[in-house]
Amino acid sequence: MAKLMVLTLLGLVMTHFKDYQSSYQKRLTAFREVEPVDLPNCNLVKGIETGSEDLEILPNGLALISSGLKYPGIKSFDPDKPGKILLMDLNEEDPEVLELRISGSKFNMSSFNPHGISTFTDEDNTVYLLVVNHPDAKTTVELFKFQKEEKSLLHLKTIRHELLASLNDIVAVGPEHFYATNDHYFVDPYLKSWEVYLGLSWSYVVYYSPNEVKVVADGFDFANGINISPDGKYVYISELLAHKIHVYEKHANWTLTSLKSLAFNTLVDNISVDPVTGDLWIGCHPNGMRIFFYDPEHIPGSEVIQIQNILTEEPKVTVVYAENGTVLQGSTVASVYKGKLLIGTVFHKALCCKL
């Protein structure tokens, strides 16, 4: 009788394991192969070899790029070097990048590990850069002032809070005010891995200001990218492992109300918003298994989608670029400026294309 009970329990465990394994593979689109979509005029960006995970293009065509991310479970081609913020001028015919010098007596450059970034331009045209940072496997938000003429960043402040525990991306709505995604509920690496494997959908979005910090949306299966509409009325959130883009209405008290969701067959990462048209440009992972379990024999591909008229009943979704990784591995972000498309990656290179 005891042996029968043991066998029964073992059978139940194995059945549930198979169910979770199947769900996990589906959420990672583990068996998807890339259907190529080419752009004819593309060049790799000189000077980017270890990632361009997120980027922001200012109205004058200057692009700020986070590079060198070290993220648990994700490949890094230079794990011993600190991360950096790069500057690129998209007005140039063949733009290159340079590393922005960072000043500030209280900032520790040796542990700089930049992830999502966002800019805010004040009424006096001061440009603030907010950076999600993971120093020593922790999470902070670093506030910088961008100094264009000096080609540098002045560190102003480090922001910490218990609700900013596992940040991925950020969108600034003031110099010290922002929405941010927590891609996990747990902080412990072991619990994080089980959270993802079991598909618990416990990650969430936070609003932060110096006077108020609160959860404004939750129930996500790996909340990832976040951005805001040009008129400031809507917030867009990508749910990586559910393959969805969510649209929220933003209220005067900074709370959010869910309006709609769009589903895709790819893992949606960072969101950029065209300030002129309002179109969404999203860097995607066609096969998440190849991102989270890197194998040089089966490298991760890249994919970029454009969403037009997202607030209407019939948004138009276009796959603008897709390839199997021979050119670009692990696309995370895409943004446009005057007919140019800049595509960044989590740990690889960056690509600039003419549309």
Identify the active-site residue in 115, 184, 243, 246.
115
Q: What residue numbers bound the domain in which 121 lies? A: 32-354
- On whether residue 3 sits in a domain, the answer given is no
Q: What SS3 state is found at 257? A: strand
Distance spanning both ends of the chain, measured CA to CA: 70
- On whether residue 6 sits in a domain, the answer given is no
Q: Is 224 labeled as ligand-binding?
A: yes
Q: How many domains does the chain have?
A: 1
Q: What SS3 state is found at 92? A: coil
- On whether residue 8 sits in a domain, the answer given is no
- On whether residue 22 sits in a domain, the answer given is no
- Supply the CATH number for residue 260's domain: 2.120.10.30
pLDDT along the chain (355 residues), means of 10: 46 57 95 95 96 98 98 93 98 94 93 98 97 97 98 97 98 98 96 95 98 98 98 98 98 98 98 98 98 97 98 97 98 98 98 96
Instruction: Determine whether 285 is an active site residue.
Output: no
Q: Is 54 labeled as ligand-binding?
A: yes
- On whether residue 312 sits in a domain, the answer given is yes
Q: Is 108 labeled as ligand-binding?
A: no
Residue 197: CB atoms within 10 Å: 13
- On whether residue 225 sits in a domain, the answer given is yes
d(C-alpha 138, C-alpha 160), whole Å: 10
Q: Is 117 labeled as ligand-binding?
A: yes
In this prediction, residue 19 carries a pLDDT of 75
Name residues whose C-beta falls within 8 Å of residue 83's C-beta, 6 or more positions apart in sequence. 66, 67, 68, 69, 70, 112, 113, 114
- On whether residue 10 sits in a domain, the answer given is no
Name residues whose C-beta falls within 8 Å of residue 174's C-beta, 6 or more positions apart in sequence. 120, 209
In this prediction, residue 17 carries a pLDDT of 55
Q: Is 227 labeled as ligand-binding?
A: no
Question: Residue 339, CB half-sphere, CA atoms under 13 Å: how many?
Answer: 5
Name residues whose C-beta falls within 8 Å of residue 175's C-beta, 6 or more positions apart in sequence. 120, 122, 128, 143
- On whether residue 134 sits in a domain, the answer given is yes
The sign of the torsion formed by the CA atoms of 324, 329, 334, 339 equals negative
Q: Is 182 labeled as ligand-binding?
A: no
- Global pTM reads 0.94
